[in-house]
Amino acid sequence: MTFVKALGASLLRVAFGFGLSILFGVAIGIAIAGSRAASWLLSPVVMGVQSLPSICWLPLAALWFQRDENAILFVILMGSIGSIVIATRDGLKNVPTTYRRVSSTFGANYWQRLFWVYIPSALPAFISGMKQGWSFAWRSLLAGELIKSVVGVGGQIEISRSIGDYERLFASMILVLLASVIVDKLLFTQLEKRIRARWGMAA
């Protein structure tokens, strides 16, 4: 198994799992920011999920999904969704009061204010949460790939450990580091710069 093949398989898993965490995390974050009842019910759960290490989800994932690909995606989702929810919630709650008053004065309803005022204002905080969630997703991926022997960087690390091939093990760890940093620099950092420039927040 080559490094490129292992990295490609892991990137596909982490991208899909991270995409799910964004989808569900944003929805939950919006609900918490817009409803006191949702905040009271869900905020403690989110904080609890965020505090648990990804490795803690392995037994539950293996029990529910019988150690297939869905088990790995579940671990990635649970490992990264907390940061997305928190970033979405905090970004929406910290929308300047002036923006809220002006949009209300112009007669915008809740959904218009949400999509055209609150979410754009919260984007810088959301992107920061995405960057943190991406790092958590990688950690969760490596934990999830330990569920069974799979084609991926985590599986390669486990095989290298089991046979005592430490050069290959450290090479795999460096590969993970480089992939994570490259995606952060090329995607999230550039996206954050564009958003800040678009909304007049650039230094």
Distance separating alpha carbons of residues 125 and 201, to the nearest angstrom: 12
**How many angstroms separate the Cα of 4 from the Cα of each of 23, 151, 153, 178?**
28, 11, 9, 13
Domain at 58, CATH number:
1.10.3720.10
Q: Tell whether 174 is covered by a domain.
A: no
Is residue 193 domain-resident?
no
Please report whether residue 186 resides in a domain.
no
Residue 1 lies in a domain: no
pTM: 0.80
pLDDT at 122 over 60: yes
Is residue 4 one of the residues assigned to a domain? no
- Reported as a single tens digit per residue, the pLDDT across 135-179 is 888 888 877 777 666 777 777 777 777 777 777 778 777 877 887
Q: Is residue 91 part of a domain?
A: yes
Domain range for 129 is 13-150
Whether the pLDDT of residue 1 is over 60: the answer is no
Helix or strand run (H / E) with residue 183: helix 166-183
Structurally, how many domains does the chain consist of? 1
Q: Which residues of 107-137 are buried (b: 16+ CB within 10 A; e: fewer)?
A: ebeeeebbeebbbebbbbbbbbbbbbbbebb
d(CA 101, CA 97): 6
The per-residue pLDDT for range 14-28, each reduced to its tens digit, is 889 899 999 999 999
Does residue 173 lie in a domain region? no
Q: Is the pLDDT of residue 127 over 70?
A: yes
Does 179 reside within a domain?
Answer: no
